[in-house]
Amino acid sequence: MRFTMKRALITAIFIGGALPAAAENSKDQTGSPEYTQEFGSQVRAYLLNNPEVVLEVFTILERQETEKLAKREMERLRSYEQELFYSSSPIKGNPTAPIQIVEFFDYQCGYCKAAASELHKILENRDDVSFVLKEFPILGQTSEDASRIALAIRAEHGDEAYVQFHDDMLNYRGSALNAATLAALVGAAGFDYEALVSRGKENDITSTLIENKKLAQALSINGTPAFVFNDGVVSGMMDAARIEARISKITTTN
């Protein structure tokens, strides 16, 4: 009786108060009602006597929905695998590392700044992990200006210079970021600010920012930082322990 009622319960939940109507309107091939008033009464009595079953059913439904969403996200990640893990984006850490984690960031984002030291801890202790850096300036024009300058440094001076400036920007804790502070930071790094501002306006850099934005939108990323692993997206700040746990999960699963 209990097993039969559990199976019936799922149907009863979805058709709710329409159960009596279903009894009259839903017929099997012989013309007999699939549901009856008596059956509905039995379901109701069973629920009243076993209320814990409702929680059990909804737990099952919630798990099924979670599994469905996870499957959908994996399919979405696979469809953007090239843009995420095999693109020409700059890499922090060992460029041939077997484990790659993509980070979308903004130079004015406080949580991105906090995450920077956590990423450093990961890279200090292992060379099998690297971070693919996706400039995603969403906090105003100054953020976009900073990203354009950073990408201009990469274009003109290479990946090493870019990563160093990237780190300098996220480690900066001074006054609000603006044209003056950007000029000072660029000058301290030994570069020509005006030349980089001009270079940053060119089409290749504009295209990179547009592509990053489109990729973020496709992955439903609308804030920073956001981390993309090969098994899912994590939005928000992650400390080293959480990143290590996620890496362990990935390596164990694979």
pLDDT in tens, 27-58: 455 444 466 777 778 777 777 787 777 777 77
Sign, CA dihedral 28-30-35-37, equals positive
pLDDT in tens, 192-213: 999 999 999 999 999 999 999 9
Quote the pTM value.
0.74
Nearest to 225 by CA among 122, 113, 146: 113
Residue that is written with structure tokens 């469809």 in the block:
79
**Domains of the chain as residue ranges with CATH:** 2-70 (no CATH), 82-253 (3.40.30.10)
What would the mean pLDDT of 168-194 be, rounded to a whole number?
95
The answer to whether 231 and 249 are in contact (CB under 8 A) is: yes
CA distance 76 to 240: 26
